[in-house]
A and B are shown apart, each in its own frame.
Chain A
Amino acid sequence: MAARRESRRLFTLLGPATLFLGVFFLGPLLVMIVYSFLAPGLYGGVVWEFYHWNYGRILGWADGEWEDFDPVYVQIFLRSARLALTNVLITLVICYPAALWVSRLSARWQTLVVFLITLPFFVSLVVRLFAWVLILRPSGFMNSALMSLGLINEPIDIIFTETAVLIGLAYVLLPFMFLPIYASVEKLDHSLLEASADLGAGPLKTFLRVTLPLTLPGIAAGSVLVFIPSLGNFIVPDLLGGAKVLMIGNLVEQQFLSARNWPFGAALSVMIMSVMFVLILVYIRRIGRKGVEA
């Protein structure tokens, strides 16, 4: 009886959320997967017949009769992965020491810093990225500042390069690395660090043997949270990479909006999503549960 009432309550509570996610999240996902196996219509749209050449174009079994295999897609994919991974490293290197530092501030300052870190979310991403264009372009703030200081004679050509894209990605995703790391650093028991010192470990050994392993769940969560949006990002490479830096996200965008090849765009999306799905699965299996225990 009680169990039945319990399960009914659970159903009532979870029902709306499940319904919402089912309709508006799983639904489109299914549409995407189905479309990726359909043929492109001549003037956009889809033709309802099974068509595996979308994947053939990407992965290499297209025979050249219907669609051409082009290794460029895998290359773009790998480049995106490389950029995303680099971005994970950049944000990690910036955020880990910062989080350690913030966790040692007084409670009032900690609240303020965390608020400041979430502050950029109040402004539209596109607006913020245009600000970066103004900063990075040859006649922008960065170059005029450096030149007026006499540090450089010629403007640095940084906009529309991979570096600019990395700066943008790091800027956009920094909070997603900072917050999980901060959460795990902040709950680190200070007496464990004292115990380590007491047992003869210097600061470096204490960091490597106590601080790092105990904050690993935060690092992992931050890495996943930064890697996934980096991989699929198309606004940052669009605005800061110009025509030179194409990421997989731009490719998808082009297929849907310019090339009007929905099935192929869907196939590319499914490729990205499978990689992310595997990553999240690994995370949950390996670290997610440990993080919950700790």
Chain B
Amino acid sequence: MSEGDSVPEAPIAAIADAVKRFVTPEGGTVAALDGVTLEISKREFVTLLGPSGCGKTTLLRAISGFENLDEGEVRIGGEVMTDVPPHQRPVNTVFQNYALFPHLSVEGNVAYGLEVTGVPKRERVVRVGEALEMVGLSGYEKRRPDQLSGGQRQRVALSRAIVNRPSLLLLDEPLSALDRNLRQSMQLELKTLQHDLGICFLFVTHDQEEALTMSDRVVVLNQGRIEQSGTPEALYHRPSTRFVAAFIGDGSLFYGTIQGPSNDPHLQTEDGLRFRLAPGAPVGERTTLLLRPEHLELVPKDSGDGKGAIDARLEQSIFLGASRQLVCKLANGATVTAAPAGLGEKESDLVDGQAIQLAYRLDRPYLIPEPAHGG
């Protein structure tokens, strides 16, 4: 993932201050994109992640040319795309519903882009063969889309897009129609394909697991704005907003003020909970603490020395095979989930409703540096 870091290259695509407003049926306007700036570099696998209506599909369509921006601009390969119609843009899209041409065979679908741009027949045949082989559909040339399974259609859509060798491939929730197993294997295949082709993928999804699995970089969108852009690890461990923290992964958020001496500070929430923090936390600031399940372990009463300790009541102990999840209630009624590493016998002896003590290493919880109004 770090191979591109050393050589700074011109971005393949750059979106600057993109604003797109839509008129709602009620007559108001809503900004699907509200000042989005984004650069995508060569060979990058970027995922746009966000809940439905966050503007991710609008951004994709602005790049492919099916939406015109109200403000801002899209550049691809350094050129401003504002007046370039979709069919002249050097990008290809894998559509959510695949949008395969029902009247053409698999071969005809894949060859379509080459035919309309005047690629000679001989080259066409070779490239279509290659593109189909890449997605594992050799031998299906003469089939029609309605004779294929969902996964196969997905592959045709993919090979129809990559056969044109776009500098940027746009994927609009391409896996959402597939069942879970197929989706997971396609995730890996897509990642491999992107690596082999060496082109940029801009992938849109609302599925955080999908985003974390495949991407070099994830861009989290919310209400038309970029919440955070970073590697999956950065997003997971160091979310810059409460929204990102809540959207990605499991975890509990506690909002409060940092108090106490700077060599042993703690976070005081308004409803009376205290969380010990590592020395050096900015005393006096209002902030949000993120506790992930894997931060928490089960400890004997009053033994959490040098750690942060939380008194909790066990609600439910869920056996997951490789691990066990402890769903606990805190004094203020908040729920936290602990997923202690390793399978201690002590966890299996627990009784629901029992008072337990959870502890975390002081360097593990993350303080979200968000302005006070955030959330």
Q: Which residues of A are in contact with B by a Cβ distance under 8 Å? A: 189, 191-192, 194-202, 205-206, 209-210, 213-214, 293-294
Task: Establish whether residues B95 and A197, one from each chain, have CB atoms under 8 Å apart when the complex forms.
Answer: no
A95 to chain B, nearest CB (A): 21
B66 interface residue (CB < 8 Å to A): yes
Which residue of B has the minimal Cβ distance to A194?
Answer: B66
Out of B99, B160, B164, which one reaches A191, CB within 8 Å? B99
Which residue of A has the minimal Cβ distance to B170?
Answer: A198
B221 to chain A, nearest CB (A): 22
- The residues of A that contact B102 with a CB separation of less than 8 Å are 192, 214, 294
Out of B86, B101, B103, B146, which one reaches A198, CB within 8 Å? B86
Nearest 4 A-B pairs (CB), nearest first?
Answer: A199-B113, A195-B99, A201-B116, A191-B99
Most chain A beta-carbon neighbours within 10 Å: one of B85, B87, B93, B97: B87
Q: Which residues of B are in contact with A by a Cβ distance under 8 Å? A: 64-66, 85-88, 91-93, 95, 97, 99-103, 112-113, 116-117, 146, 160-161, 164
Which residue of A has the minimal Cβ distance to B65?
Answer: A197
Most chain B beta-carbon neighbours within 10 Å: one of A195, A198, A214: A198
Task: Establish whether residues B116 and A195, one from each chain, have CB atoms under 8 Å apart when the complex forms.
Answer: no
Which residue of B has the minimal Cβ distance to A189?
Answer: B99
Task: Establish whether residues A205 and B116, one from each chain, have CB atoms under 8 Å apart when the complex forms.
Answer: yes
- The residues of A that contact B161 with a CB separation of less than 8 Å are 198-199
Out of A199, A206, A210, which one reaches B92, CB within 8 Å? A199
Contact A191 B95, CB 8 Å, known A199-B113, A213-B103 = yes
B49 to chain A, nearest CB (A): 22
Once the chains are docked, how many angstroms separate the CA of A201 from the CA of B114?
10
Once the chains are docked, how many angstroms separate the CA of A269 from the CA of B97?
51
Which residue of A has the minimal Cβ distance to B163?
Answer: A199
Task: Establish whether residues B85 and A194, one from each chain, have CB atoms under 8 Å apart when the complex forms.
Answer: no
A197 to chain B, nearest CB (A): 4
- The residues of B that contact A192 with a CB separation of less than 8 Å are 99, 101-102
Task: Establish whether residues A199 and B85, one from each chain, have CB atoms under 8 Å apart when the complex forms.
Answer: no
Once the chains are docked, how many angstroms separate the CA of A210 from the CA of B65?
19
Task: Establish whether residues B164 and A200, one from each chain, have CB atoms under 8 Å apart when the complex forms.
Answer: yes
- The residues of B that contact A191 with a CB separation of less than 8 Å are 95, 97, 99
Given A197-B66, A200-B87, A200-B164, 7 new contacts (CB under 8 A): A191-B95, A195-B95, A196-B101, A196-B116, A197-B65, A197-B87, A214-B103
A189 to chain B, nearest CB (A): 7
Once the chains are docked, how many angstroms separate the CA of A206 from the CA of B112?
10
Once the chains are docked, how many angstroms separate the CA of A201 from the CA of B91?
13
Once the chains are docked, how many angstroms separate the CA of A191 from the CA of B160?
15
- The residues of A that contact B91 with a CB separation of less than 8 Å are 198
B83 to chain A, nearest CB (A): 15
Which residue of A has the minimal Cβ distance to B115?
Answer: A209
Contact A199 B160, CB 8 Å, known A205-B116, A214-B102 = yes
Out of B85, B97, B100, B103, which one reaches A197, CB within 8 Å? B85
Out of A195, A199, A209, which one reaches B164, CB within 8 Å? A199
- The residues of A that contact B64 with a CB separation of less than 8 Å are 198
B303 to chain A, nearest CB (A): 61
Task: Establish whether residues A201 and B103, one from each chain, have CB atoms under 8 Å apart when the complex forms.
Answer: no
Once the chains are docked, how many angstroms separate the CA of A58 from the CA of B102?
46
26 contacts between A and B (CB under 8 A): A191-B97, A192-B99, A192-B101, A194-B66, A194-B86, A194-B93, A194-B99, A195-B95, A195-B101, A196-B112, A197-B85, A197-B86, A197-B87, A198-B161, A199-B112, A199-B116, A199-B164, A200-B113, A200-B117, A202-B85, A202-B116, A205-B116, A209-B116, A210-B101, A213-B103, A294-B103
Once the chains are docked, how many angstroms separate the CA of A192 from the CA of B98?
9
Once the chains are docked, how many angstroms separate the CA of A191 from the CA of B103?
14
Which residue of A has the minimal Cβ distance to B117?
Answer: A200
- The residues of A that contact B87 with a CB separation of less than 8 Å are 196-202, 206
Once the chains are docked, how many angstroms separate the CA of A274 from the CA of B191?
62
Once the chains are docked, how many angstroms separate the CA of A197 from the CA of B99?
12
B23 to chain A, nearest CB (A): 13
B185 to chain A, nearest CB (A): 25
Once the chains are docked, how many angstroms separate the CA of A191 from the CA of B66?
11
B168 to chain A, nearest CB (A): 12
Once the chains are docked, how many angstroms separate the CA of A154 from the CA of B320?
94
Most chain B beta-carbon neighbours within 10 Å: one of A195, A210, A294: A195
Once the chains are docked, how many angstroms separate the CA of A196 from the CA of B164?
13
Which residue of A has the minimal Cβ distance to B91?
Answer: A198
- The residues of B that contact A213 with a CB separation of less than 8 Å are 103
- The residues of B that contact A293 with a CB separation of less than 8 Å are 146
Contact A194 B95, CB 8 Å, known A202-B87, A214-B102 = yes
- The residues of A that contact B66 with a CB separation of less than 8 Å are 194, 197
Once the chains are docked, how many angstroms separate the CA of A201 from the CA of B146?
23
- The residues of B that contact A210 with a CB separation of less than 8 Å are 101
- The residues of A that contact B164 with a CB separation of less than 8 Å are 199-200
Once the chains are docked, how many angstroms separate the CA of A200 from the CA of B103?
18
Once the chains are docked, how many angstroms separate the CA of A206 from the CA of B117?
12
Once the chains are docked, how many angstroms separate the CA of A89 from the CA of B87?
31
- The residues of B that contact A214 with a CB separation of less than 8 Å are 102-103
B296 to chain A, nearest CB (A): 46
Task: Establish whether residues B99 and A200, one from each chain, have CB atoms under 8 Å apart when the complex forms.
Answer: no
Once the chains are docked, how many angstroms separate the CA of A214 from the CA of B116?
17
Once the chains are docked, how many angstroms separate the CA of A293 from the CA of B146?
9
B91 to chain A, nearest CB (A): 8
- The residues of A that contact B85 with a CB separation of less than 8 Å are 197, 202
Most chain A beta-carbon neighbours within 10 Å: one of B64, B112, B164: B112
A185 to chain B, nearest CB (A): 15
Once the chains are docked, how many angstroms separate the CA of A270 from the CA of B95?
53
- The residues of B that contact A189 with a CB separation of less than 8 Å are 99
Which residue of B has the minimal Cβ distance to A198?
Answer: B93
- The residues of B that contact A196 with a CB separation of less than 8 Å are 87, 101, 112, 116
- The residues of B that contact A194 with a CB separation of less than 8 Å are 66, 86, 93, 95, 99
